[in-house]
Amino acid sequence: MRGHCSLARRRPICAEDEREISRLLFRYATSIDNRDWPLFRTCFSPDCEADYGAFGHWRGLREIAEFMEATHRRLGPTLFRITNITIENQNNEVLARSYVDAILTPVHSGVTHRAEGYYDDALVRTSDGWKIARRRFTLVKASLDE
Protein backbone atom coordinates (compact mmCIF):
# COMPACT_ATOMS: atom_id res chain seq x y z
CA MET A 1 0.00 0.00 0.00
CA ARG A 2 2.76 2.43 0.80
CA GLY A 3 5.12 3.24 -1.99
CA HIS A 4 8.79 3.65 -1.26
CA CYS A 5 9.39 5.61 -4.43
CA SER A 6 10.43 9.21 -3.87
CA LEU A 7 8.70 10.14 -7.14
CA ALA A 8 5.25 9.33 -5.74
CA ARG A 9 2.96 12.36 -5.76
CA ARG A 10 2.17 13.17 -2.15
CA ARG A 11 -0.29 15.84 -1.15
CA PRO A 12 -1.49 16.80 2.30
CA ILE A 13 -5.14 16.35 3.13
CA CYS A 14 -7.30 19.00 4.76
CA ALA A 15 -7.45 19.26 8.55
CA GLU A 16 -11.13 18.25 8.68
CA ASP A 17 -10.45 15.00 6.77
CA GLU A 18 -7.43 14.32 8.96
CA ARG A 19 -9.58 14.67 12.11
CA GLU A 20 -12.31 12.43 10.68
CA ILE A 21 -9.82 9.73 9.70
CA SER A 22 -8.16 9.87 13.12
CA ARG A 23 -11.59 9.48 14.73
CA LEU A 24 -12.24 6.49 12.45
CA LEU A 25 -9.07 4.78 13.66
CA PHE A 26 -9.89 5.51 17.30
CA ARG A 27 -13.46 4.27 16.73
CA TYR A 28 -12.06 0.96 15.47
CA ALA A 29 -10.08 0.48 18.71
CA THR A 30 -12.96 1.61 20.92
CA SER A 31 -15.42 -0.69 19.17
CA ILE A 32 -13.26 -3.72 19.91
CA ASP A 33 -12.62 -2.77 23.53
CA ASN A 34 -16.34 -2.14 24.11
CA ARG A 35 -17.42 -5.18 22.06
CA ASP A 36 -19.61 -2.78 20.08
CA TRP A 37 -19.90 -4.75 16.85
CA PRO A 38 -22.38 -2.41 15.14
CA LEU A 39 -19.84 0.39 15.72
CA PHE A 40 -17.05 -1.86 14.44
CA ARG A 41 -18.96 -2.36 11.19
CA THR A 42 -18.95 1.42 10.60
CA CYS A 43 -15.16 1.36 10.27
CA PHE A 44 -14.82 -0.71 7.08
CA SER A 45 -16.18 -0.50 3.55
CA PRO A 46 -18.48 -3.41 2.57
CA ASP A 47 -15.86 -4.75 0.12
CA CYS A 48 -12.84 -4.21 2.38
CA GLU A 49 -9.76 -6.40 2.31
CA ALA A 50 -7.83 -6.98 5.52
CA ASP A 51 -4.51 -8.75 5.93
CA TYR A 52 -3.54 -9.30 9.57
CA GLY A 53 -0.66 -11.64 8.72
CA ALA A 54 -0.65 -14.83 10.80
CA PHE A 55 -3.93 -13.77 12.46
CA GLY A 56 -5.88 -14.00 9.20
CA HIS A 57 -6.97 -12.49 5.91
CA TRP A 58 -10.55 -11.40 5.17
CA ARG A 59 -12.49 -10.14 2.20
CA GLY A 60 -15.55 -8.13 2.98
CA LEU A 61 -16.95 -6.50 6.07
CA ARG A 62 -18.95 -9.54 7.13
CA GLU A 63 -15.87 -11.80 7.27
CA ILE A 64 -13.72 -9.52 9.38
CA ALA A 65 -16.59 -8.54 11.69
CA GLU A 66 -17.54 -12.17 12.34
CA PHE A 67 -13.93 -13.09 13.06
CA MET A 68 -13.37 -10.20 15.46
CA GLU A 69 -16.61 -10.84 17.30
CA ALA A 70 -15.93 -14.58 17.70
CA THR A 71 -12.32 -14.04 18.75
CA HIS A 72 -13.03 -11.35 21.32
CA ARG A 73 -15.97 -13.28 22.78
CA ARG A 74 -13.39 -15.64 24.29
CA LEU A 75 -11.35 -12.81 25.85
CA GLY A 76 -11.59 -10.65 28.92
CA PRO A 77 -10.97 -6.90 28.76
CA THR A 78 -8.83 -5.56 25.94
CA LEU A 79 -7.00 -2.29 25.41
CA PHE A 80 -6.37 -1.34 21.78
CA ARG A 81 -4.35 1.86 21.66
CA ILE A 82 -3.83 3.69 18.39
CA THR A 83 -1.04 6.28 18.15
CA ASN A 84 1.37 8.01 15.75
CA ILE A 85 -1.18 8.45 12.98
CA THR A 86 0.13 9.74 9.66
CA ILE A 87 -2.24 10.46 6.79
CA GLU A 88 -1.41 11.47 3.24
CA ASN A 89 -2.89 11.64 -0.21
CA GLN A 90 -0.54 9.71 -2.48
CA ASN A 91 -1.31 9.35 -6.17
CA ASN A 92 -4.99 10.15 -5.48
CA GLU A 93 -5.27 7.49 -2.76
CA VAL A 94 -5.66 8.42 0.90
CA LEU A 95 -3.33 6.33 3.05
CA ALA A 96 -2.88 6.17 6.80
CA ARG A 97 -0.36 4.48 9.03
CA SER A 98 -1.05 4.09 12.74
CA TYR A 99 0.72 2.26 15.51
CA VAL A 100 -1.25 -0.21 17.60
CA ASP A 101 -0.48 -1.54 21.04
CA ALA A 102 -3.04 -4.20 21.95
CA ILE A 103 -3.42 -5.88 25.33
CA LEU A 104 -5.72 -8.91 25.39
CA THR A 105 -6.53 -10.38 28.77
CA PRO A 106 -8.06 -13.76 29.59
CA VAL A 107 -11.62 -14.04 30.87
CA HIS A 108 -10.64 -15.42 34.27
CA SER A 109 -6.99 -16.22 34.82
CA GLY A 110 -4.12 -17.06 32.57
CA VAL A 111 -1.75 -15.36 30.24
CA THR A 112 -2.22 -11.82 28.93
CA HIS A 113 -1.26 -11.37 25.28
CA ARG A 114 0.27 -8.19 23.96
CA ALA A 115 0.74 -7.32 20.29
CA GLU A 116 2.49 -4.23 19.00
CA GLY A 117 2.70 -3.21 15.40
CA TYR A 118 1.17 -0.91 12.85
CA TYR A 119 -1.72 -0.68 10.44
CA ASP A 120 -1.32 0.52 6.86
CA ASP A 121 -4.74 1.56 5.60
CA ALA A 122 -6.17 2.70 2.27
CA LEU A 123 -9.23 4.80 2.99
CA VAL A 124 -12.32 5.76 1.01
CA ARG A 125 -14.77 8.56 1.58
CA THR A 126 -18.39 7.38 1.53
CA SER A 127 -21.71 9.07 2.15
CA ASP A 128 -21.34 7.78 5.75
CA GLY A 129 -17.84 9.17 6.20
CA TRP A 130 -14.37 7.70 5.85
CA LYS A 131 -13.97 3.91 5.81
CA ILE A 132 -11.07 1.48 5.73
CA ALA A 133 -11.02 -0.13 2.27
CA ARG A 134 -7.74 -2.06 2.66
CA ARG A 135 -5.75 -2.78 5.79
CA ARG A 136 -2.47 -4.53 6.41
CA PHE A 137 -1.33 -5.21 9.97
CA THR A 138 2.40 -5.64 10.53
CA LEU A 139 3.37 -7.27 13.80
CA VAL A 140 6.51 -5.79 15.35
CA LYS A 141 6.44 -7.56 18.70
CA ALA A 142 4.27 -10.11 20.48
CA SER A 143 4.65 -11.04 24.12
CA LEU A 144 2.97 -12.90 26.93
CA ASP A 145 2.60 -11.59 30.48
CA GLU A 146 1.69 -13.84 33.37
Q: Which domains does the chain have, with CATH numbers?
A: 11-145 (3.10.450.50)
Q: Mapping DSSP to helix (H, G, I), strand (E, B) and coil, where does residue 17 land?
A: helix
Q: How does pLDDT run across 70-111, given as a tens digit for each residue?
A: 999 999 999 999 999 999 999 889 999 999 999 999 988 889
Q: What is the DSSP string of 41-104?
A: HTTEEEEEEEE-GGG-EEESHHHHHHHHHHHHHT---EEEEEEEEEEEEETTEEEEEEEEEEEE
The whole-model pTM stands at 0.90
Please give the backbone phi and psi of residue 101, each rounded to the nearest 5 degrees, phi first. -125, 110
Contacts of 58 (CB under 8 A, 6+ apart): 48, 49, 50, 64, 67
